[in-house]
Chains A and B, each alone.
Chain A
Amino acid sequence: MKVCNLRKIVAWLLWGMVFVATLEFCARLDDSIRWEAPFFGLYSNEILWQPTAWGRGGRPNAKFEKWEINSQGFRSSEINRHKPNHEIRVLVMGASETFGLYESSGHAFPELLDKNLNRVFPGCYKVINTGFPGMSLPRMCKLFQVVAEPLQPDIVVVYPSPQFYLDVRPPAETFTNRNSLKKDRGNKLELRLKRKLTIILKRILPSSLQTVIRRLALEYMRVRLGVKEAWERPPRKRLEAFNVHLVRLVQEIRAVGCEVILATHANRFGTDLDCDDDFYMYAWIVYYPLATPGGMLYMEASANDIIRDVGEKYRIPVVDLADVVSGRSENFADFSHFTDQGSDRVAKTLAKAVVNLISPDHTIDCR
């Protein structure tokens, strides 16, 4: 009897192992067909990054699913080393919203900005997307110091993400390159199925259940961090740090003779939270356990005020994206990352500001 049971268990185990192995095989074959991914070896978003002077930067010529990095390490089309005389170069700096997460291929807002500008002035503008996930203002500053000379930008569009200042460890004034990348895992065996299953799970689990799980995770993190009361209003220090870092970046850019355009940060929620917003708000705030949802929105609003003040003080054009796209769910795929539609609106709004700042000489045919 016992032998019989053992046999059954072994047979089921074997069946399960073959099942999982087949799923993994299918996942790899699928990646190979759809994305031309290598069948063996590591294939995750980690292959897009490498350590750079400004922290986690793009690995030249890397490709993961719809994301492609050019030979200079940016999510942009190839950039000519020798800048043509007539070309107006626009550098777009920002975090994951700028890099582009949910937009379909070719629809991140810097790419659409490029298309919009060149539709009106063919060949006159070159927009370079230097956005990377997690880019804080000090990192942008460091990046600018490194790329200003080789890329020779004329205009720099800055789209800062204030939420980093709610982090447990907020951005330091000067960026020091700590080990910002996970250790290179080389060709270590990794189940590709894991990532795919997580995506599916997020798609099929009821949103209310996901919110409950996130709330629990948030509570757990707060307990671990010893947070007695989460911030309804972020400390003044944090806002001051944002101000100082922004001013420093602006000064750094202007010091090399570039024009600056600042953009306020947009999010799905606008100024108030509805009960329907819980799902996305907790998906966001789970990364920032020190703040409450109200504190998060307060930070956004205060940071946008700072951006407007800096713009006024330094006579820099400010594009109020918070006013144009915030609070409209069709513009956002999650809490702050754009959909194709949102990206299109952002690009069109920015294009006007760019053309107002520097427009090409009408007598020159840029092509």
Chain B
Amino acid sequence: MLVAASYFFYGYWNWRFLSLILLSTLLDFICGLKIFKAASLSGPLGEKRKKAWLVLSLCGNMGILGVFKYYDFFIGSLENFVSLFGFNPILFHLNLVLPVGISFYTFQTMSYSLDIYRGDMKPTRNFVDFALFVSFFPQLVAGPIERARNILPQIISKRQFSAEKFKEGAHLIFWGFFKKIYVADNLGIFVNRVFDASSPSAYEIVFATYAFAFQIYCDFSGYSSIARGCAKCLGIELMKNFNFPYSSTDIREFWQRWHISLSTWLRDYLYIPLGGNRRGNLLTYRNLALTMLLCGLWHGANWTFVLWGAFHAVLLLGHRVLHLKDKSVDKDSWVLYRHLYRIAGIIITYNLVCLGWLIFRCQTLSQLGQMLSTLWSFPVAFDWALVEPLIWYALPMLLVEAVFQIAKNDYIFQLPYLPTLANSVAYATLFYLLAFHGAEAQSFIYFQF
């Protein structure tokens, strides 16, 4: 039933791409079984076969991703590069439509084969269960990128439904919609106006970038909340994809809180297999840089995304080189000093992340160059109206997230020590803002990845 619903959901957008998801599912289902079978054989033959099936799975998935997402980008880049030397080659372009969610489900199916290869899990023999793991509709098009070892056992076992779970799921869906429609879409109007303008002022760029930081966070985490909520109502627990990322005190912590399912995927299946931080400083830096560059490229076939990945690689390397963690304030320090240190860390990290978002949001490298040069010419008259979108749209969200952090729970809006009726007031206020001040619905930003 859920598989049929998931396929209908995906096919509703474009039924032709159902074949693609089916191909990816079949490939990894077979490869998973074969890898497991090969693993049971002893000796080098078993190892060889195991590797061969894994390579087939990886090549298949990367092939799909490469053809649909990156082929035209690299061919176009090659053409541009060659034209620098006076040649004008006409190479074959595919001009394919990018299937929604392709980066998410290919990474998800790859993790399945990799986990079996590493002996972390056993394959399922039930194709329908596996098809549901790949296509489970709440998280199919924009994540979280789930692991088979988390989802498959839940799919196989009898699902438990309860009023409590339904309530928590409904809360997550509501909160997701609030973040998406009230915060992200409203901020998007301001952000688009500035980034589409021919020559925005420095202050406009600064505040539009701040706004974009909240827009992309609420857009993506809003979707993740809706996905988690829907899954919860259906008796399946999805992983938490965001954990208040803008409260991070350093860039390393930011990546532990932002798009957790992708960052842990890259850590487990790329950074650590490359050697992680176990093979000396230079190789650690290389692994880190490679991981972040690929992280950037995962987000889209555009050099701005690669540059964004490189920028974060530099930040992480800088953080590592300066040993900021070791220099952090110790627990015996004066309380006020500790708090000030933490606040300073949050402000600096947020601003560095925002600089990254500026790179991310620009359509082209030339637009980025133009905006960065405008930023240097800072002193123009300040317009307080630029702060208004942040106050009206980002502030309420931050206040609610602060409540979640205090309560150490994002399943329900409940402040400790306050009566239950207080959450009625909170829900009503949020509902009012969502219903009467929500913007016209826009597509989710992460659908394009």
Contacts and interface: CB of A to CB of B under 8 A. Distances in A.
A19 B427 contact: yes
A14 B433 CA distance: 22
A57 to B, nearest CB: 31
Contacts of A21: 428
Contacts of B258: none
B436 A22 contact: no
A23 B432 contact: yes
Interface string B431-449: 1110110000000000000
Contacts of B420: 11, 15
B328 interface: no
Interface in A3-52: 11, 14-16, 18-23, 26-27, 30
A130 B436 CA distance: 32
B421 interface: yes
Given A23-B431, A26-B429, A18 B436 contact: no
B431 A15 contact: no
Contacts of B391: none
Interface in B392-440: 420-421, 424-425, 427-429, 431-433, 435-436
Interface string A118-160: 0000000000000000000000000000000000000000000
Contacts of B425: 18-19, 22
Contact of A26 (B421, B424, B428): B428
A196 interface: yes
A189 interface: no
A228 B432 CA distance: 45
B424 A19 contact: yes
Contact of B428 (A14, A19, A30, A197): A19
A197 B424 CA distance: 18
B436 A30 contact: yes
A200 B424 contact: no
Contacts of A196: 435-436
A200 B436 contact: yes
Nearest to A199: B436
Nearest to B437: A30
Contacts of B433: 26
Contacts of B432: 22-23, 26-27, 30
A219 B425 CA distance: 42
Contacts of B428: 18-23, 26
Contacts of A26: 428-429, 432-433
A200 B435 contact: yes
A261 to B, nearest CB: 38
Nearest to A15: B424
A349 to B, nearest CB: 31
A22 B429 contact: yes
A30 B431 CA distance: 13
Contacts of A22: 424-425, 428-429, 432
A276 B402 CA distance: 47
A143 B222 CA distance: 55
A12 to B, nearest CB: 10
A23 B430 CA distance: 9
B330 to A, nearest CB: 45
Nearest to A30: B436
A196 B435 CA distance: 9
A30 B435 CA distance: 13
A21 B421 CA distance: 12
Given A30-B436, A200-B436, A18 B431 contact: no
Residue of B429, B431, B433, B436 contacting most chain A CB atoms (<10 Å)? B436
Interface in B216-230: none
A272 B136 CA distance: 46
A196 B436 CA distance: 8
A14 B429 CA distance: 16
B413 to A, nearest CB: 12
A14 B421 contact: yes
Contacts of A27: 432, 436
A16 B433 CA distance: 18
A18 B420 CA distance: 11
A21 B427 CA distance: 12
B435 A18 contact: no
A11 B424 CA distance: 11
A180 B431 CA distance: 37
B421 A18 contact: yes
A125 B67 CA distance: 66
A26 B421 CA distance: 16
Interface in B81-120: none
A39 to B, nearest CB: 15
Nearest to A200: B435
Contacts of B435: 196-197, 200
Contacts of B436: 27, 30, 196, 200
A18 B422 CA distance: 9
A15 B413 CA distance: 14
A27 B436 CA distance: 9
A18 to B, nearest CB: 4
B429 A18 contact: no
Interface string B20-59: 0000000000000000000000000000000000000000
B370 to A, nearest CB: 32
A34 to B, nearest CB: 10
Contacts of A197: 435
Contacts of B431: 19, 23
Nearest first, the 5 closest Cβ-Cβ pairs linking A and B are: A22-B428, A26-B432, A18-B424, A19-B428, A15-B424
Given A16-B424, A18-B428, A200-B435, 4 more contacts: A19-B431, A22-B424, A27-B432, A30-B432
6 contacts: A19-B424, A22-B425, A23-B428, A23-B431, A26-B429, A197-B435
